[in-house]
A and B are shown apart, each in its own frame.
Chain A
């Protein structure tokens, strides 16, 4: 039987070390809503989401209460809207209308974000997909809860450089459209390479076309738990370090698995995956960077950071895989700058640069995440940053992403406040040398040689 020390350990994790289930995300397919009549399409989307998710928040709160584990967010992801709206939308404005419908229904069912205002254009763009992409700045400015993502590359297809170029412009326009809120719109927009179909985390969640009609995906968290566990093995060798992370990741993931199974059973929706990611928040003691420091680095960004992060990411997966029947999504360590106090401190101290962050993204999940850059950064430079990150994903057969915020009207050294889980960030300098001629070439970068596995 469970003993008092085990109970105390679990409750300390929850109460003192910020262990929580970061999100229960319900994926909902909108393929059966497709209609060439725009008004009808809007109505069908609203109905399908409302009927599917009306009990999601209530169920999440019930589970949270019964097990004494906080479930921070309840969210929805839907089929990429570029596919759903292709038959009905004639202008970018029509797509904005769909975004409004998503926002309205998200508010109605009480979820804090709805993801899937997305287009998958890793090889080419249909006219509808291009229209959706061009509508993103306005869609994110007029809605509160809608999140958008665009997949511009994959290991199998290469990188769609036309889309990369376009996204540089779209990110700038999104920043302009939401300049009153410190360009907050860009915090809800992710550019992906190798985007997963079942990611429960925002802003990049969408419900892939390979998925079932409805599905429950769960994202766990717990950097604070890992950090506290590592405090007890200070000075020990790498074997001890790795074993400790693995065991802790196992425990954290089991909670996610339990919540996922319960939510799936109570909602009558199949269980999809548990995403093993270590997701930080701006709260003190809930930081991935602090884990790196606990391993022996003065700041995240110091020499050794990439190795430390690689080790952390791998051990989290090894521990987590055994704890869950299905693992998926992004599964790794997130390194968003504004959402992680240790990362913010590292940037403020001058220890962490954009280039070092890029190196770190080679060995962990996601990529350049929640990074504030000067508002006068050009579209071509942003496209160049995206292209670099996509290349890392394409060649290493992993997901990479860029969620970068050119803060209009602000420059290096200033701070930007997004509020809530999105946190705050010091604005980081960007390499000022130009890449316009490279970005403007147009066309595609072919798939790498090791993608030809057939």
Chain B
């Protein structure tokens, strides 16, 4: 390790102290380093005397950093509130939406099972009434009916999807305008 590396490690460990205090400590060590150098010590010897930067930093922080600076409680509250508003709430919405989708899939599973059972019963009934070919024709009817319903559902779902995309676009525009407006205002 050389002096520059030692400094770097010390600086990193001193980060809880203010910038001014940090610079003062670095200057203090610089002065000692060059005085020791003038006294005939080698870089290695000096750094060995200084000890590890971590141990040194610990002493400084213990001395006056002691209690970790928690900052102004009001400022911390606003930071928390802002984080909640811009990160927490959107995250919550996404999570809730995902939960709703999950629930819908879960319920639709039951619907599929119910449909399967109903179909089975229907098939048996048709078999008994019209024989195998009759049951097949009846099933063809079910398939055609399902297709018909599907075709009928295409326009409303297309419409809903389109609206959703437009809504998303608007949301981005509004957010963008809000941020830009804030910047211009500042």
- The reply to whether chain A is a binding partner of chain B is no
Interface positions of B (Cβ within 8 A of A): none
Chain A residues with CB under 8 Å of chain B are: none
